[in-house]
Amino acid sequence: MSGIYSDEFETNMNIWTSPANVKETARKFRELEKANGPSNFVMFAKKLMPRPADWADEYGSTKGYNDWEKHAAGVPQVIRERFGSVARENFQSDNPLPMVLKIGINADATYDVHVKNFIHEGVEYIGVVWLCPNPALKPAAQPVQSQKVPA
């Protein structure tokens, strides 16, 4: 997930949840939940950033936009719920805090999410580090065994 979503997606999410924009983003989240019932981050991200260009990777590919639901569904439910509950609780509050999202590659082959409140330049933030499985640790493909064809 990190190779696809760590560039424009991460940048744009951080703009939407910056101190200047978090209240408007929270308002949009509450409206979405009011209209559709409890929301999830997958649905909210697509509503917040409806243009494929908002999802471009470092090479300019917008493939992540079309594959978002599939990739998000591959993230373990406990990880999705942890991130979703942090975002929902924040966006539902009267004074939502700005958030900083950082997507990276984990040391092992698992997903993980870390949440940490911190203060930067006198402003309290919610920091979220979303770690995706290390692709270097995925099982290597088995070599194809050649078969001799009788002459």
Tell which wins on pLDDT, 51 or 126: 126
Is residue 132 in a domain?
no
The whole-number pLDDT of residue 132 equals 87
Assess if residue 130 is contained within a domain: no
SS3 105: strand
Does residue 9 sit within a domain?
Answer: yes
Compute the distance between CA of residue 27 and CA of residue 24 in angstroms, rounded to an integer: 5
Q: Residue 22 CA to chain centroid, in angstroms?
A: 17
Paired residues of 126 in beta bridges: 99, 117
Chain segment 69-100, per-residue pLDDT in tens: 777 778 888 888 888 889 999 999 999 999 99
Question: Is residue 76, in this structure, part of any structural domain at all?
Answer: yes
Q: Is 42 helix (H, G, I), strand (E, B) or coil?
A: helix
Domain count of the fold of the chain: 1
- The answer to the question of residue 77 being in a domain is yes
> Where residue 27 falls among pLDDT bands split at 50, 70, 90?
very high
On whether residue 16 sits in a domain, the answer given is yes
Question: Which of 77, 140, 75 lies closest to 110 in space, CA to CA?
Answer: 75
Does the pLDDT at position 44 exceed 60?
Answer: yes
In this structure, is residue 54 part of a structural domain? yes
Segments forming the whole domain that contains residue 48: 2-96
Q: Which residue has the tokens 């190779």?
A: 3
Does residue 116 lie in a domain region? no
> What is the pairing mode between strands 112-120 and 99-105?
unpaired
